[in-house]
Structures are given as structure tokens and as C-alpha cells.
Structure 1
Amino acid sequence: MIDNNRAFSGFSVSDINKAREFYGDKLQLKVMDGVMGLLELHVGNGNPVIIYPKENHQPATFTILNFPVENIEEAVAQLSTRGITFERYDGFNQDSKGISRSENGPSIAWFKDPAGNILSIIQPTD
């Protein structure tokens, strides 16, 4: 039967070395080399997220990872100094920093990894 204690997620990138640098250096996350040229991205207390190279990689058109933060203003400022550029999307009320704020929901800012996959930082509502 399915073992949900060992389930994990994964996504592709076009260049595994650029991914290692981006997730390890720019985002300062724990990245380890896995088997068969894969990367293991260790987030939270669960199983790692697998990052794998794909020759014909197509970037995800949706957010693949969301990173909760306590203070989105500080997180955007820190990531910006590391060369992260925040995306702008039609239909969202985003400020000059790229932060979307909602009266009834969390504040969120989106950015992309070197392979074009969409990520976000998100400040949950109190």
C-alpha cells in the first residue's frame, strides 16, 4: 500500500548546478547531492524535495514552493540584496517591492529560480 510517511515531492530544472547555487547560496537552504545527479532540498522536518535535471525542462506555470516568513518586508529586502527579482502579475495588488497584500489573506511575493519555476515567500495572517 502507499506509504505516506515516505512521500516526497520533486520538480525539474534545466541546470542542476545553477539550481544548487540558487537554492543553497541565494536562498541559503540546505541542499545536498542525491543519487543519480539529483539534489535534495531539505525544508521543514519532512522528507526532502527532489530537484532533478531535465533536458527539455519547461518551467512550472504555478507556484511550486511557498516559504512562510514572519516579516515579508524584511524577507523581500534580504532576498533583493542577494539578487532575487520579484515578479509582477496582473490581477494582484502588488506594491513597488512586488508584495501582494490582501485584506482577508496573507501577504505574498513571487520570484523565480534560474529554471523559471515560480516560488513565493508568504506571510500568513495573524
Structure 2
Amino acid sequence: MLKNCDAFSSFSTNDINKTKEFYENILGMKIKDNSMGFLELDPEHCSVLIYPKENHEPAEFTVLNFYVPDLEKQVDLLTAKGVKFEIYDGEVRTNEKGIHRGGDTPGIAWFRDPAGNILSLIEQNN
């Protein structure tokens, strides 16, 4: 029934201007302001909308993942721009930079946007 339809993902923010600044200037993404006051992230390559919500509560799970060819390099670049990576010391463990490596899974590092939404970088080796 839905197999040939277009789809997109969305999540909320409590401050659309801070969010736009973060995704555009810190992460370096192309942003489009649409007619409804939403942000479209890199509209030529992905279908993600971020919308303003007064009573925004950040999700307790990862809402957006980015594949990167060199995880360590990207973590260093974003850390230099002030991004703080999550440090986990439980079932999932990260190193001092916030990078998790283990088993058969690719390297991954989690961080938050200004609204507290959890994002990740996932190492993708070609």
C-alpha cells in the first residue's frame, strides 16, 4: 500500500533559530526555510524536517544519524567547533572522545543539537 510513496522524517525543537544556526554553521548542512516555518535539512539529499514546538521534549533516542568516512576526524572537527559528544559507561561504552567501537558494529559517536535531540555519526567504510 505505501511501498512507492515518498516519506520523510521529522522532529521538533524549542528554538528554530538556534537550531538553524547549529545545523547550518556548526554541522555545515544546507538548510531551507519552508513556507510553514519548518527547516528542511539538505533538501537535495535527505528528507528531514525540523519544526518548532513550544513544549518540546527531546527524544530519549537517536533521531538522526550521519554516515561519515572517518569518524575520528569528524569528531575532532566538531569538538573544535564546540560540539560535546556523549560519554557512556554502561552497556554501551565510549572512549574519552565519545566514540564507541566494538564487535561487529561500526564506530559511532552521539551528540546533541541545541534542543537536546540526540544525533549520531556512524563510520561507514566503503
What is the TM-score normalised by the length of structure 1? 0.90
Q: CA 1:31–1:3 in 2, change beyond 3 Å: closer, same or farther? A: farther
Asked if structure 1 preserves the Cα contact closer than 8 Å seen for 2:87 and 2:95, the reply is no
Residues 2-37 of structure 1: per-residue CA shift (max 9 Å, x gap): 474421111000000001000000000111111121
Q: Percent of aligned positions with the same letter in both sequences?
A: 50
Q: CA 1:104–1:3 in 2, change beyond 3 Å: closer, same or farther? A: closer
Q: How does 1:49-68 map to 2 (within 5 A)?
A: 49-68=48-67
Q: Which runs of 5+ in 1 are unaligned?
A: none
Distance 1:74 1:111 in 2: 15
Distance 2:18 2:112 in 1: 12
What is the TM-score normalised by the length of structure 2? 0.90
Distance 2:44 2:112 in 1: 20
The corresponding residue for 1:85 is 84
Asked if structure 1 preserves the Cα contact closer than 8 Å seen for 2:67 and 2:122, the reply is yes
Farther off after superposition, 63-72 or 85-94: 85-94
Task: Give the paired residue count.
Answer: 125
The corresponding residue for 2:7 is 7
Asked if structure 2 preserves the Cα contact closer than 8 Å seen for 1:29 and 1:41, the reply is yes
Q: What is the one-letter code of the residue matched to 2:41? A: L
Q: Decide which structure has greater strand share.
A: 2
Q: CA 1:4–1:83 in 2, change beyond 3 Å: closer, same or farther? A: farther
Distance 1:38 1:106 in 2: 32
Distance 2:13 2:84 in 1: 18
Distance 1:92 1:124 in 2: 19
Q: Which runs of 5+ in 2 are unaligned?
A: none
1:88 partner SS: coil
